[in-house]
Amino acid sequence: MWVVSESAAASHIVENTVQRLLLAAPRGYCAGVHRAVHAVERALEIHGPPVYVRKEIVHNKTVVAQLRRQGAIFVEEETDIPQGAITVFSAHGIAPSVRANAQTLQLRTIDATCPLVTKVHREALHFARDGYTIVLIGHEGHEEVEGTMGEAPDRIVLVQTEQDVEELVVEDPERLAYVTQTTLSVEETSAILARLKQRFPSIVGPRTDDICYATTNRQAAVKELASKCELLLVIGSRNSSNSVRLVEVARDFGAESYLIDNKDEVREEWLTGKRVVGISSGASAPESLVEDLVEFFRDRGVDDVSTLRTVREDVRFMLPKEIREAVPAGTS
């Protein structure tokens, strides 16, 4: 099939070579993201706009834009919020200092922190109270890392690479523990952790893995998909750690791969000569974006669309207590 493609320079005719789409499963929203987004939507329904959200509720441009249209106001810091306002904390978690500031401002808060992130916070606190120095494996500047480090700033050190481990100096190597950011690459984290255990044989960690089930499952699905397609498109925003990791995993396993926010970012040169295209999406990307991308290819004449499922997910999280117990405005 021949397709007309317009560029800024000129219109030209290109041949569509794509014959088949393979969709990764699982993909898209995880339980924590669904909970956080629904918490903002319910807060708007119950209290009416505006509802303030500290940081992006989840790292996805489309989701943030949709909630903004419904009346959510996104701010960088809790100190930017009017006193007494309805405020939602994002899925990535917050430091205790943020909670203290919110109390001082008398904000009516709804904590949408993912329960799996809360688990990491509790682990860090537990280790700190027991006198351990805590190594946090994560990415500097990520909101989840900032929140976790805020639990015990004097006891936590951040490592991002194996080289960081080589250069790590701690007060007492016999009292060392580790926790991890939940959205990391499984392989990269395993390599860093292996080096930590080599350098510090007495290091202890959490009883269960900190990398969340959704991150692990989506990476496993992409690994399987990478061997079966020539191009793998991952839907997700640039500041979404787990989405970026999916692209890295796809490339590590031999597939040409790109991160896109939506179908409009697909570049014609990526498709040239490609016959099988894989599609996945990060844990904060809504399924509607996948559907739009599939439709983009259907419009080009691709009608062979199938799903490659590696594992089934049935994880669900309850909405925050502040939402479950809220009384809608105007009722008594």
Distance CA 61, CA 239 (A): 9
The mean of the pLDDT values for the chain is 94
Pair of tokens at residue 275: 């016959």
What mean pLDDT comes out for the span 222-246? 97
Summarised one tens digit per residue, pLDDT across range 77-118 is 999 999 999 999 999 999 999 999 999 999 999 999 999 999
- Which pLDDT belongs to residue 331? 57
- Which pLDDT belongs to residue 14? 59
Pair of tokens at residue 103: 């109390």
Residue, of 26 and 188, whose pLDDT is higher? 26
- Per the CB < 8 A criterion, the answer to whether 317 and 32 are in contact is yes
Q: Is 210 a residue whose pLDDT tops 80?
A: yes
Q: What CA–CA distances, in Å, run from 289 to 37, 61, 182, 242?
A: 16, 11, 24, 17
What is the DSSP pairing of strand 11-15 with strand 2-6?
A: antiparallel
- Which pLDDT belongs to residue 326? 82
Q: Is 328 a residue whose pLDDT tops 80?
A: no
Q: What CA–CA distances, in Å, run from 2 to 19, 21, 239, 264, 305?
A: 13, 18, 35, 19, 19
Helical ranges in 130-227 per DSSP H: 143-149, 162-166, 186-199, 213-226
- Which pLDDT belongs to residue 69? 98
Summarised one tens digit per residue, pLDDT across range 9-67 is 334 445 789 999 999 999 999 999 999 999 999 999 999 999 999 999 999 999 999 99
Pair of tokens at residue 171: 């007060």
Distance CA 76, CA 88 (A): 12
- Map residue 80 onto helix, strand or coil: helix
Complete domains list, the chain, with CATH: 17-29+213-309 (3.40.1010.20), 31-113+316-324 (3.40.50.11270), 116-199 (3.40.1010.20)
Set 78, 123, 143, 144: catalytic member: 144
In the residue annotation, 144 being an active-site residue is answered as yes
Residue, of 327 and 175, whose pLDDT is higher? 175
Q: What pLDDT band is residue 332 in, cutting at 50, 70 and 90?
A: very low
Angle 286-40-258 (CA atoms, 0-180°, nearest 5)?
A: 25
Pair of tokens at residue 267: 């570049």
Q: How many CB atoms lie within 10 A of CB 194?
A: 12
Summarised one tens digit per residue, pLDDT across range 291-303 is 999 999 999 999 9
Distance CA 88, CA 249 (A): 32
